[in-house]
Amino acid sequence: MTDIAKVCNDILEFIDQHDNYLITTHLSADGDAYGSALAMAYFLESKSKQFTIVFHDQEKEEKYDYLWGWSLINPYCDEKDYHFDAAIIVDVPSRSRIGNPAQLLPSANHCIKIDHHPEEDELAILNLVDTAASSTCQLVYEIISRSDVEISHQLATLLFSGIMYDTGRFSFSNTRARDFEIAAHLTSLKVNPSEVANHLFFNNNVESFKIIGYGLSNIETFLNGKVCVIFLPYSVMQKAGQLDIEELTNYSLAVKGVEVGLFIRQVEPDFIKVSFRSKGKVDVNKVAKVFGGGGHVHAAGCRTNGDPLELRDKIIQEIEKQLP
Amino acid sequence: MTDIAKVCNDILEFIDQHDNYLITTHLSADGDAYGSALAMAYFLESKSKQFTIVFHDQEKEEKYDYLWGWSLINPYCDEKDYHFDAAIIVDVPSRSRIGNPAQLLPSANHCIKIDHHPEEDELAILNLVDTAASSTCQLVYEIISRSDVEISHQLATLLFSGIMYDTGRFSFSNTRARDFEIAAHLTSLKVNPSEVANHLFFNNNVESFKIIGYGLSNIETFLNGKVCVIFLPYSVMQKAGQLDIEELTNYSLAVKGVEVGLFIRQVEPDFIKVSFRSKGKVDVNKVAKVFGGGGHVHAAGCRTNGDPLELRDKIIQEIEKQLP
């Protein structure tokens, strides 16, 4: 039995032995976090287990409302009297990235973790952590496909969504043959790839395009074109409000000769959010960590205070250290 | 034996029996046209057959130069004395969409056609035409995988490129489980999906982003948001030159509630090019045909003379006929 098969079986046994689960994930949950958390919830429901899904985020992203279980997700609430026998932690490498729901975790020997980020904190007694996996949803698929739970259309859509999201539509450097194999299986279970893509990627507001247009027309390159920066100042971010302008992150990398793309937005006058993308030569997880963030080799993020253009220059200096 | 298997075997037999082939495809060859034409060329080379690849286009698109055989593609030349025993016609439904190389075709009983567009002209005695196929490269895969030619890394990259291109990174409504199965096989043969995606989709010039930015910031919607139009006037198109701004086609559809996206560019003061995209409810092949173009239900194009805004309004009227 391979390691992954063994851990999957251990996790299935653990789940059989416990009830009343907390399911949680990282701050600013993304497509893979929603997909993997809800797929595990679906699995627990199929097993007639009790569960509560708690995300740090106070606002759920509406674009994920097509997913089974979206309405079951709760934001963390200070005043609630939570009690859990066990927890399933998905798509998050560290306690700090969980946010408030971390306070609700039972002791590590009552926790399972499923993730594809480099592990930072030991949170669980059972860990299916594979940094080579495209997505946490891929790993959840490895578990559930070994169980006696049938993969329904709803469950297949959850798993497919996470894989499609985290591989950037099968285009990022984490995409492997295994992802296509799983996608073939899930599509044969009537998942509609274009419907999922429409929800995840083609669901923009016309107003968000005006902001994206602004970002693109002000794109800049550094280090002989190896680094591409899209910057939205506070004046533009105020107009952006809750609009989805994340596609600019991918655009920052979509330039010939660019190795690293940065999407920097000045969310508040003194608060900056940065998304990092790499074509592979530069480990942007390392770079993001210098600024208190993290993620993967090819995709990472950080949030910090200060002046955005000073920050930009410091980030570029960090990237330069990794370039030949 | 299924129909497709039978036609594939007939095609393999035909290829064994002929030599000295013309390979051609449609005007303004795209990723699937390059991929399928060059994959068939690769196949003929493996079989030690003679072949000449002739495209109508005088300029080859540089972004496809990573593909095996790119340098073997010739533009049609009036003065050359061509002679062919047979022809392989890929990814094109009609004689008129081939352009000049159509003059070189031997009689239909010496021709094979492989395509996924609705057939318009009978050009060949043997036709592997499947409008449900995502791409012509998928069909070429069905043929070659039944032959004794091993799928090398180069050949796998050709086939994968066409599938990835025509499914819009596995996101258009033509994407099926079969595409993922083939992609899994090709990726296991060391095709690198992110490298291919970088060539096909993430290889922009910074200057092209300024144009794309212009297009996005001037986006307009019609018919209660069901139709989205991105229009580049001649003044902007002059700046665009040979820059790749085709991504605007996909953006025209990437809006919440939109059924049809139009990307209209005024290439010359009196010459307009339109790309149509549909989420599925409207057959844009039908719409494009009204204006002398064509394509698929979900993706089509046309080129015509006249005033771009008058044309836009006429196109919107045609779309309206198909909307409930």
What is the spatial distance between Cα A47 and Cα A16, in angstroms, rounded to a whole number? Answer: 8
Q: What pLDDT, on a 0 to 100 scale, did the predictor assign at position B242?
A: 75
Single-letter amino acid code for the residue at A277: R
Q: pLDDT for B115-129, tens place per residue?
A: 999 989 999 999 999
Q: What pLDDT, on a 0 to 100 scale, did the predictor assign at position A240?
A: 87
User: CA angle, B177 as apex, B174 and B181 as ends, to 5°?
Assistant: 120
Q: pLDDT for A254-265, tens place per residue?
A: 898 999 999 999
CB atoms within 10 A of CB B184: 19
What is the rounded end-to-end Cα distance, in angstroms, of chain A? 42
The CA distance from B277 to the nearest CA of chain A, in Å, is: 12
Q: What pLDDT, on a 0 to 100 scale, did the predictor assign at position A1?
A: 53
Compare CB distances from B255 to A192, A206, A218 and report the shortest one's residue: A206
Within 8 A of B204 by CB-CB distance, chain A residues are: 254-256
Kindly report which listed range (A71-80, A248-257, B238-247) carries the lowest average pLDDT score: B238-247
Q: B193 and chain A: CB distance < 8 Å anywhere?
A: yes
| Residue whose token pair is 């009689």 | B107
Q: B219 and chain A: CB distance < 8 Å anywhere?
A: yes
Within 8 A of A164 by CB-CB distance, chain B residues are: 170-171
Query: Which residues make beta-bridge pairs with A194?
Result: none
Query: Which residues make beta-bridge pairs with B221?
Result: B228
Give the rounded percent of residues in chain B with a pLDDT score beyond 90: 85
What sign results for the dihedral spanned by CA atoms A230, B251, B262, B179?
Answer: positive
The CA distance from B248 to the nearest CA of chain A, in Å, is: 11
pLDDT reading at B165 higher than 90: yes
Of the residues B161, B163, B169, the best mutation for testing chain A's interface (the one with the most A CB atoms within 10 Å of its CB) is: B169
pLDDT reading at B90 higher than 80: yes
The CA distance from A183 to the nearest CA of chain B, in Å, is: 6
Q: What pLDDT, on a 0 to 100 scale, did the predictor assign at position B2?
A: 64
pLDDT reading at A71 higher than 90: yes
The CA distance from B32 to the nearest CA of chain A, in Å, is: 17
Query: What are the tokens at B282?
Result: 């409207």
| Strand, helix or coil for residue A137 | helix
Compute CA A290 distance to the chain's CA centroid, rounded to the nearest angstrom: 20
Q: 3-state SS of chain A: helix, strand, coil percent to 5?
A: 40, 20, 40
Q: pLDDT for A139-152, tens place per residue?
A: 999 999 999 999 99
What is the spatial distance between Cα A96 and Cα B99, in angstroms, rounded to a whole number? Answer: 61
Q: What pLDDT, on a 0 to 100 scale, did the predictor assign at position A223?
A: 97
Query: Which residues make beta-bridge pairs with B121?
Result: none
Domains in chain A: ranges and CATH: 3-201 (3.90.1640.10), 206-322 (3.10.310.30)
Q: pLDDT for B31-72, tens place per residue?
A: 999 999 999 999 999 999 999 999 999 999 989 999 999 999
pLDDT reading at B154 higher than 60: yes
User: Could A253 and B171 be called an inter-chain contact, meaning their C-beta atoms sit closer than 8 Å?
Assistant: no
| DSSP labels, B288-324 | HHHTT-EE-SSEEEEEEES-HHHHHHHHHHHHHHH--
Q: B213 and chain A: CB distance < 8 Å anywhere?
A: yes
Pairing of strands B260-268, B271-278: antiparallel
Q: pLDDT for A78-137, tens place per residue?
A: 888 899 999 999 999 999 999 999 999 999 999 999 999 998 999 999 999 999 999 999
What is the spatial distance between Cα A227 and Cα A221, in angstroms, rounded to a whole number? Answer: 6
Q: Label residue A25 by pLDDT band (50, 70, 90).
A: very high
DSSP state of B255: B
The CA distance from B178 to the nearest CA of chain A, in Å, is: 7
| Strand, helix or coil for residue A170 | coil
Stated as kind and residue range, the H or E segment containing A103 is none
What sign results for the dihedral spanned by CA atoms B159, B160, B164, B165?
Answer: negative
| Among the listed residues A85, A78, A89, the one whose alpha carbon sits nearest the alpha carbon of residue A25 | A89
Give CA separation, A156 vs A114, A160, A163, A177, A188, in Å.
18, 6, 11, 18, 10
Q: What pLDDT, on a 0 to 100 scale, did the predictor assign at position B204?
A: 84
Q: What pLDDT, on a 0 to 100 scale, did the predictor assign at position A18?
A: 97
Mean pLDDT, range B243-272, rounded to an integer: 92
CB atoms within 10 A of CB A110: 17
Q: B215 and chain A: CB distance < 8 Å anywhere?
A: yes
| Among the listed residues B49, B19, B42, the one whose alpha carbon sits nearest the alpha carbon of residue B110 | B19
User: Could A187 and B177 be called an inter-chain contact, meaning their C-beta atoms sit closer than 8 Å?
Assistant: yes
pLDDT reading at A206 higher than 70: yes
pLDDT reading at A2 higher than 70: no
Mean pLDDT of chain A: 95
Query: What are the tokens at A144?
Result: 């559930």
Non-local (6+) Cβ contacts of B288 within 8 A are: B274, B276, B294, B295, B300, B301, B302
Of the residues A169, A199, A222, the best mutation for testing chain B's interface (the one with the most B CB atoms within 10 Å of its CB) is: A169
What is the spatial distance between Cα A6 and Cα A283, in angstroms, rounded to a whole number? Answer: 30
CB-neighbour burial class of residue A303 (10 A; exposed 0-12, middle 13-18, buried 19+)? middle
Q: pLDDT for B206-244, tens place per residue?
A: 888 889 999 998 999 999 999 999 999 999 999 888 787
Of the residues B198, B203, B209, the best mutation for testing chain A's interface (the one with the most A CB atoms within 10 Å of its CB) is: B209
Mean pLDDT, range A7-32, rounded to an integer: 97
CB A290 within 8 A of CB A318: yes
How would you classify residue A173: left for phi > 0, otherwise alpha for psi between -120 and 50, otherwise beta? alpha
Q: Which residues of B3-41 are buried (b: 16+ CB within 10 A; e: fewer)?
A: eeeebbebbbebbeebeebbbbbbbebbbbbbbbbbbbb
DSSP state of B104: G
Mean pLDDT, range B162-176, rounded to an integer: 95
Q: A209 and chain B: CB distance < 8 Å anywhere?
A: yes
What sign results for the dihedral spanned by CA atoms A284, A287, A291, A292?
Answer: positive
Mean pLDDT of chain B: 95
CB A173 within 8 A of CB A280: yes
CB B175 within 8 A of CB B200: no
